[in-house]
Structure 1
Amino acid sequence: MRTRLLAAIVVSFLFSGCGTAADNELLLQGAKQLDEGQTEQAALSLSSGLEQAQKEGAPEKGLGRYRLLLTRCYIVQGKIDEADRESSRAFESAQKSYGKESLDLVPYLLARSRVAYRKGDFAQSRNRALEALSIQEKSQGKESKDQIDTIDLIVSAACADDRCADTEPYLERQLALRKKYLGEDHPHVASSLCLLGELAEKKNQLEEAEKYYSEALAIREKSAKELVESTRKNLVRLHLKKLDE
């Protein structure tokens, strides 16, 4: 997902006429360094490119893309205040450039969501991700692969905010999308199944929970053996609960 996002940002920049050849070189360099995990070098390249673009009077669209990549750098580095600053400015630039309902706004909303999550503002994180999903649905319907990561953010933020009970419709949708695009036996499918199992267990729907955990176990025995033991423990716990009933 990271590589696809970076590539999309860079390609859209190069073909939009937003920067000079020097700007483009620094953006490409920074994106490549970020993708390779060289975050310090990437931050330097992108900061230099942003400064140069500002001096040359580059449009908001171009500045926003630099700031979006800088946000990613700072999140990886754990520099959350810097990430908050850059993601806020990037989002403002994107709104001015694209409007409030454009699909191009989604990466900026998701960046704001991730920053809010890292700051511990889980309600804000969830709301930003929900905004992004709403835009995606209007442009793509409800069957796009791009929505898997957006739904993951919604679920993660809700659970961190003690609102896991609200996530069942999103988890069911995420499960369907993961099966469709990743395959029935993908480890991420098992993750969705386990989360649905946990929700069912909390509602004391033990038969439903057992079904989800059993499906997850079958997948993990094939593709994620390091998680087999923890999944088996879920099933053992369920069996003990049934004996107590």
Structure 2
Amino acid sequence: MREKCLPSDHPHIADSLNNIGNIYDSKGEYDRALDYYSKCLKMREKCLPSDHPHIANSLSNIGNIYDTKGEYDRALDYYSKCLKVQEKCLPSDHPDIADSLNNIGNVYNSMGEYDRALDYYSKCLKMREKCLPSDHPDVANSLLGIGNIYNSKTEYDHALDYYSKCLKMREKCLPPDHPDIAE
């Protein structure tokens, strides 16, 4: 419908392509999701300013697909591009920037580059502590990620410290029967 009513490069058509990509991603059809996300990105790059948040969103979505597929170098490329766009168009303490730092940390963790992952996770935690409520679940998730890194590095005392902080925060901000408390 949108394709019939709107010019071929209208941002709403790009939004529809993104939504279709989201569905394929949710269904685990990653190559099809990637196809739609890539079409969306091309269209957004044509019709939006280069530092528009929707372009960052498309770059992040493509990075997510490559991360899920285990194509870590490509995921890092897209996540890094996303972060650069976000740093231009969003306030310096915006939660989306923290999410991108977390995504990059996740990739380095998956690659076994724990020190680099720790660096990104730490930046993410610092930003989340600044821009989110002190008992926000994303802050707890950052603590968990850092704990996981220390566990992987066999620095168990540090891991235990972060896991304990994560648990305490989750017990405060989540219902008692929430599955994340057991994690």
Please tell me the TM-score bracket, short chain as reference. Answer: 0.7 to 0.9
Q: Give the structure with the larger helix fraction.
A: 1
Q: 2:29: which partner in 1?
A: 79
What letter matches 1:113 in structure 2?
G
How far apart in 2 are the matches of 1:200 and 1:61? Answer: 43
Q: Structure 2: which 5+ residue stretches go unaligned? A: none
Match of 2:78 in 1: 128
When residues 202 and 76 of structure 1 are mapped into structure 2, their CA distance, relative to the original with a 3 A threshold, is closer
CA displacement at 1:128 relative to structure 2 = 0.7
Match of 1:148, SS state, is helix
Shift of 1:206: 4.8
Per the alignment, residue 171 of structure 1 pairs with 121
One-letter code aligned to 1:118: T
Q: In the TM superposition, what are the counterparts of 1:39-188 in structure 2 within 5 Å?
A: 48-50=1-3, 52-53=4-5, 57-188=7-138
Instruction: Name the CA shift for 1:228/1:67 in 2 (closer, same or farther; >3 Å).
Output: closer
Q: Which amino acid aligns with 2:2?
A: G
Highest CA radius of gyration, 1 or 2? 1
% identical equivalent positions = 21
1:41 corresponding residue in structure 2: none
The CA RMSD measured in Å over matched residues stands at 2.6
- Structure 1 runs of 4+ aligned residues shifted over 4 Å read 201-207, 224-230
Q: How does 1:28-47 map to 2 (within 5 A)?
A: none
1:55-99 Cα shifts (integer Å, max 9, x gaps): x64335343222111111211122222211111111111112225
Deviation at residue 166 of structure 1 after TM alignment: 1.1
1:229, 1:79 → 2: CA distance?
30
Q: Aligned partners of 1:175, 1:117: CA distance in 2, in Å?
A: 21
Return the TM-score normalized by structure 2.
Answer: 0.80
Residues 82-137 of structure 1, C-alpha deviation per residue, up to 9 Å, x if partnerless? 21111111111111222544434111111211222233322211221111111111
Structure 1 distance, partners of 2:57, 2:180, is 31
Deviation by residue 1:206-236 (Cα, 9 ceiling, x = unmatched):
5443432332232233345545555xxxxxx
Q: Which letter does structure 1 place at the counterpart of 2:172?
A: K
Letter paired with 1:163: E
Superposition TM-score, scaled by structure 1 size: 0.62
Q: Secondary structure at the match of 1:146?
A: helix
